[in-house]
């Protein structure tokens, strides 16, 4: 297969690689360079300023707030999402009533229905989900508070997104709501591929279903859980948190910077405040946080791979 | 399903009473939890559909009441006055162009990377795949000016090129793995018969890769259809807005105009086609979206 091989390789790679280099790789390299300048983004002129942007960043209270919220998102959102998804998929796959002559462990009746419904939010745009919940959270006419009034909890009428102590949790809940279903389906597929003999053997040895879950199911699913964690964390640091915070919160990022995240702060500095160079500096910090997060999860999660 | 009889009977002999009780209690409990979460997923969506048929007064007065009449005028107002029809058209154009581009360019690159040994193969592969874990926002600041300098800002074709570029990492990653699983003998036979590399690729390999292309195609379709961050930065001209942006824009402007019913109609309008397509092609969509994570 030598004839014309290199001409073919170059011909096939040139266009995809060219587009990718121009729109993805080159801007990444540029933004690291810009973080050492005083470029505003409004005019083409700039000078090198060394580490000025970085020292400014370390003194910037809003930066630290956004960093803390981003780290919280990257840790908390996957933890709650994956925990809830594992629990629900365990219920779907193992919670069934034993039928005569059937296998010892069975899925619940209607498991296919649950999986279809749980997956709904996954196909919707996070922007649409964010808009929907912005209205649901409305203190006066929103769905949530009027539901609370409807069941007699008139005293409990939180301001949700308007309350600096609650806003971040309200946003977190939306991120969890929109991604749990994806992982339920993913884990269900993983659980279905675990041989039934393993469960039966555990039950024969007198294990309860919950021991079975922690000693058999979870270890066998560990690889999927781990890559799910990294995937979810990257989303929670990047595009997803940008959409929900920018659309839902007042300010956006408020009230009183209580919900601002790094990705939003980069956007605001670059495209609202005309401080493009400083924005790229925060962007570099976001890059460091993302890579550190992925490395830590991969390292903590490293275990012997179980073959079955 | 292939349970042998022997262990099942032993299980019965050992702890029959407690095991059965545990099973029943667990069954009731798990159904309770599962139904609760199903309600939590469906209720907000149903609320939105219901609200889209109500008039503004009852949206504010009694958010959970059923509509007194089906106000279809909300929908027609959203479709025409609120420009939902234009947003739909823009989205179809952008996603159509970028989906085709992503699949063609992504499979070309993936095929070369999967099947040919050449110096720099690994480097190019990791250059593509590395793009999956980098925060896109970092690149967006200079990208705005790159796109601006090329005269592509606020254009449909500019947006298409950027969508393709940012869809390539996952597409190349997924399809490279897929092309590796295909047998080499067919391509070699075609080549021996005198087909060029290019012809072998388009007439032999691409048809064989169809299942993989469908999976990654669905993944990219949903990702691009639902994209919000890229157009927010690169497509600020209201006439060129895509659906997600248009809705957010609408939410801001309707806040002043007070036309909440129209906004909800727009929201549901954007939601329903995707949900309907998902229910129809449920198995393929789930396969497409979970394909990458199961690798």
Where do the structural domains in chain A lie, given as residue ranges?
Answer: 1-26, 61-300
- Would you say B105 and B128 are in contact if contact means Cβ atoms under 8 Å apart? no
- Taking only residues 95 to 124 of chain B, the set having a beta carbon closer than 8 angstroms to any beta carbon of chain A reads 105-106, 108-109, 111-112, 116, 118, 124
Give the nearest chain B residue to A225 (CA atoms): B293
Chain B CB contacts of A270 below 8 Å: 140-141, 144
The whole-angstrom separation of Cα A214 and Cα A220 is: 10
Most A-contacting residue of B142, B192, B215, B284 (CB-CB within 10 A), to test interface: B142
CA distances, B54 to each of A141, B260, B262, B265 (Å): 13, 10, 9, 9
ipTM exceeding the 0.90 mark? no
Contact B140 A27 (CB under 8 A): yes
Question: Does B186 contact A at CB distance below 8 Å?
Answer: no
Q: Return the pLDDT at A42.
A: 78
The whole-angstrom separation of Cα A301 and Cα A293 is: 12
The whole-angstrom separation of Cα B72 and Cα B52 is: 8
Contact B222 A238 (CB under 8 A): no
Chain B CB contacts of A41 below 8 Å: 141, 144-145
In Å, how far is B22's CA from the nearest CA of chain A? 9
In Å, how far is B199's CA from the nearest CA of chain A? 11
Q: Return the pLDDT at A97.
A: 60
> Cis bond leading into A252, ω under 30°?
yes
- In the predicted model, is pLDDT for residue A305 greater than 70? no
Contact A114 B136 (CB under 8 A): no
pLDDT in tens, A135-149: 888 887 777 887 888
Chain A CB contacts of B222 below 8 Å: 123
Which residues does residue A201 pair with via DSSP β-bridges, in sequence order?
Answer: none
Contact B139 A28 (CB under 8 A): yes
In Å, how far is A85's CA from the nearest CA of chain B? 11
The whole-angstrom separation of Cα A160 and Cα A243 is: 18
The whole-angstrom separation of Cα B268 and Cα A276 is: 37
Q: Return the pLDDT at B1.
A: 38
- Would you say A97 and A130 are in contact if contact means Cβ atoms under 8 Å apart? no
Q: Is the model more confident about A20 or about B9?
A: A20
pLDDT in tens, B72-130: 777 887 787 778 888 989 999 999 999 999 999 999 999 999 888 888 889 999 999 88
The whole-angstrom separation of Cα B94 and Cα A192 is: 38
Question: Does B217 contact A at CB distance below 8 Å?
Answer: no
Contact B146 A4 (CB under 8 A): no
The whole-angstrom separation of Cα B119 and Cα B109 is: 15
- In the predicted model, is pLDDT for residue A216 greater than 60? yes
- Rank A61-70, A85-94, A294-303, B60-69 by mean pLDDT and report only the highest: A61-70
Please calculate the CA angle A238-B289-B172 and round it to the nearest 5 degrees. 75
pLDDT in tens, A253-300: 778 888 889 999 999 988 888 888 899 999 999 999 998 888 888 777
For domain A61-300, the CATH class is: mainly alpha
Q: Which whole number is the average pLDDT over A166-188?
A: 90
The whole-angstrom separation of Cα B147 and Cα A39 is: 17
Chain A CB contacts of B24 below 8 Å: 97
Domains of chain B by start residue, with CATH? 73-294 (1.10.3720.10)
Chain B CB contacts of A83 below 8 Å: none
Chain B CB contacts of A19 below 8 Å: 105, 161, 164-165, 168
Contact B134 A290 (CB under 8 A): yes
Q: Return the pLDDT at A23.
A: 92
Which H/E stretch holds residue A10? helix A5-20
- In the predicted model, is pLDDT for residue A303 greater than 80? no
Q: Which residues contact B280 (CB under 8 A, 6 or more apart)?
A: none
Nearest C-alpha neighbor of A127 from the set A161, A72, A175, A59: A175
Percentage of chain A with pLDDT > 90? 18
Sign of CA dihedral A158, A161, A163, A168: positive
A212 phi and psi angles, rounded to 5 deg: -55, -40
pLDDT in tens, A233-247: 888 888 888 989 988
Contact B11 A11 (CB under 8 A): no
Q: Return the pLDDT at B93.
A: 93
Contact B37 A118 (CB under 8 A): yes
Nearest C-alpha neighbor of B257 from the set B88, B77, B90: B77
Q: Extract the residue ranges of chain B whose pLDDT is less than 70.
A: 1-23, 26, 254-258, 292-295
Q: Return the pLDDT at B76.
A: 80
């Amino acid at each position: 297969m030598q004839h014309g091989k290199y001409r073919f390789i170059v011909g096939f790679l040139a266009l995809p690689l060219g587009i990718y280099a121009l729109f993805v790789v080159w801007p990444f390299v540029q933004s690291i360079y810009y973080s050492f300048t005083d470029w505003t983004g409004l005019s083409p002129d700039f000078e090198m300023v060394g580490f000025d942007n970085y020292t400014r960043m370390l003194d910037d209270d809003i930066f630290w707030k956004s960093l803390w919220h981003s780290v919280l998102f990257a840790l908390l959102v996957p933890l709650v999402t994956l925990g809830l998804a594992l629990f629900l998929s365990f219920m779907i796959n193992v919670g069934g009533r034993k039928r005569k002559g059937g296998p010892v462990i069975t899925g619940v009746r209607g498991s296919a229905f649950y999986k279809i419904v749980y997956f709904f939010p996954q196909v919707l745009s996070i922007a649409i989900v964010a808009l929907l919940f912005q209205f649901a959270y409305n203190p006066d006419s929103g769905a949530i508070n009027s539901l609370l009034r409807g069941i007699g909890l008139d005293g409990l009428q939180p301001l949700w997104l308007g309350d600096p102590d609650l806003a971040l949790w309200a946003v977190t809940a939306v991120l969890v709501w929109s991604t749990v279903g994806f992982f339920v389906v993913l884990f269900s597929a993983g659980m279905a591929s675990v041989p039934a003999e393993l469960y039966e053997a555990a039950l024969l040895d007198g294990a309860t279903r919950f021991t079975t879950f922690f000693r058999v199911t979870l270890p066998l699913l560990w690889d999927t859980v781990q890559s799910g964690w990294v995937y979810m964390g990257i989303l929670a640091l990047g595009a997803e948190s940008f959409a929900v915070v920018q659309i839902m919160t007042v300010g956006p990022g408020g009230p009183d910077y209580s919900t601002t995240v790094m990705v939003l702060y980069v956007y605001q500095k670059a495209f609202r405040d005309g401080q493009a160079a400083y924005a790229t500096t925060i962007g570099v910090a976001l890059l460091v946080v993302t890579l550190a997060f992925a490395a830590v999860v991969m390292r903590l999660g490293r275990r012997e791979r179980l073959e079955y | 399903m292939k349970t042998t009889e022997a262990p099942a009977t032993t299980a019965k002999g050992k702890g029959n009473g407690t095991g059965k009780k545990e099973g029943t209690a667990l069954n009731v409990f798990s159904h309770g939890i599962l139904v609760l979460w199903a309600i939590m997923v469906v209720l907000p969506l149903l609320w939105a559909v219901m609200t889209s048929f109500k008039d503004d007064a009852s949206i504010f007065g009694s958010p959970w009441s059923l509509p007194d009449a089906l106000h279809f005028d909300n929908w027609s107002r959203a479709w025409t006055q609120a420009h939902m029809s234009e947003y739909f058209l823009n989205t179809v154009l952008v996603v159509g162009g970028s989906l085709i581009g992503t699949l063609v360019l992504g499979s070309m690159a993936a095929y070369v990377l999967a099947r040919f040994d050449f110096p720099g193969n690994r480097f190019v592969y990791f250059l593509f795949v590395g793009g999956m874990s980098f925060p896109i926002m970092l690149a967006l600041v200079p990208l705005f000016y790159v796109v601006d300098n090329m005269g592509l800002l606020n254009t449909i074709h500019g947006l298409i090129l950027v969508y393709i570029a940012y869809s390539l990492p996952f597409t190349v990653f997924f399809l490279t793995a897929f092309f590796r699983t295909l047998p080499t003998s067919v391509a070699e036979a075609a080549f021996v018969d005198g087909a060029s590399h290019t012809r072998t690729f388009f007439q032999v390999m691409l048809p064989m890769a169809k299942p993989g292309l469908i999976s990654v195609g669905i993944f990219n379709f949903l990702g691009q259809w639902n994209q919000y961050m890229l157009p927010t930065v690169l497509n600020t001209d209201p006439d060129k807005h895509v659906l997600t942006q248009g809705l957010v824009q609408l939410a801001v402007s309707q806040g002043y105009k007070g036309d909440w019913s129209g906004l909800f109609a727009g929201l549901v309008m954007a939601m329903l086609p995707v949900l309907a397509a998902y229910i129809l092609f449920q198995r393929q969509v789930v396969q497409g979206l979970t394909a990458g994570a199961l690798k």
